Structure 1
Amino acid sequence: MSKLAYTDNFDIQAAFAKGKAFIGFLTAGDPNLEATARYIQTMAQAGADLIEIGIPFSDPVAEGEVIQRASERALAKGALTDAIFDMVAQVRETVTIPLVFMTYLNPVYVYGTDRFFKRCKALQIRGIIVPDLPYEEKEELETVAATYGVTVISLIAPTSEQRIGRIAKEAKGFIYCVSSLGVTGVRKNITTDIESLVGTIKKYTDIPVAIGFGIAEPEQAKAMAAVSDGAIVGSAIVKIIEAYGDKAETPLAEYVKSMKNAVSQA
């Protein structure tokens, strides 16, 4: 029998089943795939409820400088999609929290959409976030992904209520609520009225809403989780990995523990 026999632990909803969720992101292959496998395990053990695994792309239009540099380093080390899938297969021997991919349309299409999502299914990757997928054009990708039990996660940014309503009504898994316009990156202050934005989203759906873009400090994570169902952190984690290279386990574990604790107090 496969080690990956179905369990609800892999389902995206499991990340939110016990309260406010802490979601962490890292770029696969930075500094190398062996380290990425260890860091996913480290983050899971430190309390991350869901982990986004970034598949690097040469033109990550939604990313700030921190994640752009990580993608460049990963691609230079040969972090291609097949190798990333092989790394996740290794990780899945011990890590049973929900995992989702975050990448762009090009890597999925180049790999082959059916082939990509078939491998996701085999590894219990239940979701994908695609920042450059327009809402109006999501049906084609979503149809193939659904065939293999993979949810295309919707992103909602500060915009008109009419558009928010359309996206929220059709959203599945969880909604990635973008705290600020622009690219990813650590922000000293988040000035968007997040509470009102989440309130608008909640008029149209009951699925969890997690807030990302700009969160770096425990106080920010607690504040964002207080008005939503969880906080998402990417650039701050990638900066730790950039600073410590393949010896980031201890600072990474300490950081994730502090952020999870803050979210839990919200």
Structure 2
Amino acid sequence: MNRIDQLFQAKSEGILNIYFTAGYPSLEDTNTILEALQSSGADLIEIGIPYSDPVADGPTIQESNQQALENGMTMHKLFEQLQGFREKVQVPVVLMGYFNPVVQYGIEAFCEKCREVGIDGVILPDLPIREYTEVYKPIFEKNGLHNVFLITPQTSEERILSIDANTEGFIYMVSSASITGAKSDVTDVQKEYFKRVNAMNLKNPRLIGFGISNQETFEEACEHAQGAIIGSAFIKLLSQSENLTEDITAFVKDIKGKK
């Protein structure tokens, strides 16, 4: 069974998914961050594939993408770093990126490499669902990869149902129509959106992302979904860290309210 499915079978609430950009802050930090996130209690880890034009992301993640590219991070380098990481990391790991670099690498080659190193799922925000279902779905399924789609407050009910039918693992529930970035609270408009989607009784669990930055926003998001995704706030921590392992441990424990 896919590790993402195992996670949601074993745990139905309070799931913490943390995003970081591969090759940031330094080129060879990928495995250090993965291991520190697992040991500190992250339930799921999302590795960002650096891209020169990450349109859905705010300034913090954009800057981390730029720095990672300047550090020399490439898709080939990332897969090289991930070779053997499953000897130490058991939690589900997904790759998040944009469709263009995946096409350049080769869709089939990309999916096969994900399977080979032990990746459980992929998030490609700009991959159209119709193109996925008509062309690429069999390749993902053959390699045991879950393809995770995003929904926003503007996503129609018809499209949400289509996404739910063609998604495995979980649905990435974007909290607002803005770009990524840490925010301080959850608005009434967002709460209405969360309630509307919950009332649809979708088959897939949901994780809320965009704007989750601390224990308060994490817990509030968890009231409306099975868990939440933290990205920009974690990237900021990495940018200021002098000891990655210690600082990551403190960050995750703080989010989860553990001393």
- How does the TM-score come out when normalised to structure 2? 0.91
Q: Write the mapping of 1:100-249 to structure 2, written as runs, cut at 5 A.
A: 100-139=94-133, 140-159=135-154, 160-191=156-187, 192-194=189-191, 196-197=193-194, 199-201=196-198, 203-244=200-241, 247-249=243-245
Once the two structures are superposed, residues 58-87 of structure 1 have per-residue CA deviations (whole angstroms, 9 ceiling, x without a partner) of 110101000111011111111111110111
Distance, in Å, in 2 between the alignment partners of 1:198 and 1:123 is 38
Indicate conservation of the 8 Å contact 2:99/2:127, yes or no: yes
- How far does residue 42 in structure 1 lie from its aligned partner after superposition? 0.3
Indicate conservation of the 8 Å contact 2:146/2:169, yes or no: yes
Classify the secondary structure of the residue corresponding to 1:22: strand
Correspondence for 1:91 among 77, 85, 110 = 85
Give the aligned CA root-mean-square deviation in angstroms: 1.8
Indicate conservation of the 8 Å contact 1:24/1:233, yes or no: yes
Does residue 35 (structure 1) correspond to residue 29 (structure 2)? The answer is yes
Indicate conservation of the 8 Å contact 1:15/1:98, yes or no: yes
Indicate conservation of the 8 Å contact 2:21/2:48, yes or no: yes
Structure 1 residues 194 and 136, CA gap change in structure 2 (3 angstroms): farther
Moved over 6 A (4+): none
Unaligned runs of 5+ in 2: none
- How far does residue 201 in structure 1 lie from its aligned partner after superposition? 5.0
- How far does residue 29 in structure 1 lie from its aligned partner after superposition? 0.2
Distance, in Å, in 2 between the alignment partners of 1:205 and 1:187 is 27
- How does the TM-score come out when normalised to structure 1? 0.89
Distance, in Å, in 2 between the alignment partners of 1:112 and 1:98 is 23
Indicate conservation of the 8 Å contact 1:218/1:258, yes or no: yes
- How far does residue 253 in structure 1 lie from its aligned partner after superposition? 1.1
- How far does residue 202 in structure 1 lie from its aligned partner after superposition? 5.4
Partner in structure 1 of residue 43 of structure 2: 49
Distance, in Å, in 2 between the alignment partners of 1:106 and 1:183 is 19
Unaligned runs of 5+ in 1: 1-7
Indicate conservation of the 8 Å contact 1:62/1:132, yes or no: no
Distance, in Å, in 2 between the alignment partners of 1:253 and 1:220 is 19
Distance, in Å, in 2 between the alignment partners of 1:96 and 1:137 is 32
Letter in 2 for 1:253: T
Partner in structure 2 of residue 4 of structure 1: none
